[in-house]
Amino acid sequence: MKQLMLNEKLSKIQLEFKANKSKFNSFGKYNFRSAEDILEALKPYNEKYGVSFTITERSLAYREGSNFPPMIESIATIYDNNGINEISATAIVGVDLNQKGMQVPQQYGSASSYGKKYALGNLLLIDDTQDADATNTHGRDGAKNATTEDDQKWLNVNTPEFTKAIEYLKSGGTIEVIEKKYKLAAKTKQELLKVK
């Protein structure tokens, strides 16, 4: 039997992989999968394909008083058990230090979980377009099913909403869905289209 290269093993795992959405957001009324769900579902592939997975994180430089929040870089890596080959994918998330009801360790923990989930999602090509992380209104639209153009907010570059929109596009989302939620200036739309 032919020995598979690591990229071939990863391709097979991407095709076969399924992870349950075991968590429920009671505020937004949707199910989602966590990093823990993904890691648990990956365990059978370690033996089947002779690979192992790791997630490493590091805090990116942060200057007090800057306009940018602290950032966490999460790197998901698959290793061939021969110890030579590896393939990685990265996610960078901001830490929302203004998140109400959370202490600083919880704010970092929340960002860490989010980063791990998206680094694994990038590595495994998990399509989370149904998770609504980028499009969830958290019940704010009430009885209205669609927003009119007058009700739409502008989507601006270098905002948390813009970062979520980019993550949404990277996970397989479409610019059309974003345009239903936000008004886009030509320059902002150009930046989003670079992601595709």
- CATH C-level class of 1-126: alpha beta
Question: Do the beta carbons of residue 140 and residue 132 sit within 8 Å?
Answer: no
pTM for the structure as a whole = 0.61
- Quick one: pLDDT at residue 139? 47
Query: pLDDT tens, 54-106?
Result: 999 998 876 666 777 889 999 999 999 987 899 999 999 988 888 778 888 88
Per-residue pLDDT, averaged over 134-160, amounts to 57
Q: Per-domain residue ranges for the chain? A: 1-126, 128-196
Q: Rounded to 5 degrees, what angle do the CA atoms 152, 94, 43 make?
A: 110
Confidence of residue 23 (pLDDT cuts 50, 70, 90): confident
Question: Do the beta carbons of residue 87 and residue 7 sit within 8 Å?
Answer: yes
DSSP-derived pairing of the beta strands 30-32 and 51-60: unpaired
